[in-house]
Homo-oligomer: A and B are copies of this chain.
Amino acid sequence: MSEVPDVPGTPRRRARRGAGEQLRGEILTAAKDLLAETGSADAVSIRAVADRVGITSPSIYLHFADKKALLDAVVADVFATLDELMNAGLEGLDPLERLCQQGMAYVRFALASPEHYRLATTYTRAELGDVDLVMQTAAFAHFTDTITECMAAGLFATGDPTPIAIDLWAAAHGIASLIIAKPYLPWGDPEEVAYRVLRAAGVGRSISDLLGDPDPQAFAAWRSQLKAPD
């Protein structure tokens, strides 16, 4: 509700000669804030962002080629935040616990900042050049590290961690994005649902590895001769 200190009579102080970069940062945070406050991606118009910063809309184009470039920057910022949150407080945990923590941190961020999350995961990078925008993020790298450690601990078959990372990511993304998009479904406690889904993805992958990628019948036969532990 607080207005930017931009009284009509006192227009924005023009930046110093080399200080155009500073405005770029202000535009970026304004876009993020606007997204968070309105909770709607199309409320983030070039004009609305400019108003909030206290400049006119064409000034945005001095720092971002177009709206897509601005949103790309927001997306990069989201992935950076995601990495921070996913890697906080992991000290002293064993690999499997770390995996769970990282997954839950991912879902928590998604549910806490649904519109940022939706933007980051919905936006398709059109340019074919950057083959692995997401995979180059620190978040993805740290996640695959944890998976490699889980392999060493015997939870998964050893090998390339990337496919497992993608599978678990799909599970986390699936539940997070569904809760966001369909909030009226009878979810119950989102944390519990997310935990259930993540556990199922991890357990399922672990058992599939153990059984050597079984087909449905093979799994059914194996499971029918199992007994629950005491």
Contacts and interface: CB of A to CB of B under 8 A. Distances in A.
A118 B128 contact: no
Interface of A: 96-97, 99-100, 118, 121-125, 128, 130-135, 153-155, 162-163, 166-167, 169-175, 177-178, 180-187, 193, 196-197, 199-208, 210-214, 216-217, 219-220, 222-224, 226, 228-229
A124 B216 contact: no
A121 B206 CA distance: 29
Count identical subunits in the complex. 2
B201 A132 contact: no
Nearest to A172: B174
A178 B167 contact: no
Given A203-B204, A204-B205, A208-B200, A178 B169 contact: yes
B203 A207 contact: yes
Nearest to A122: B181
Given A96-B220, A204-B205, A228-B211, A170 B178 contact: yes
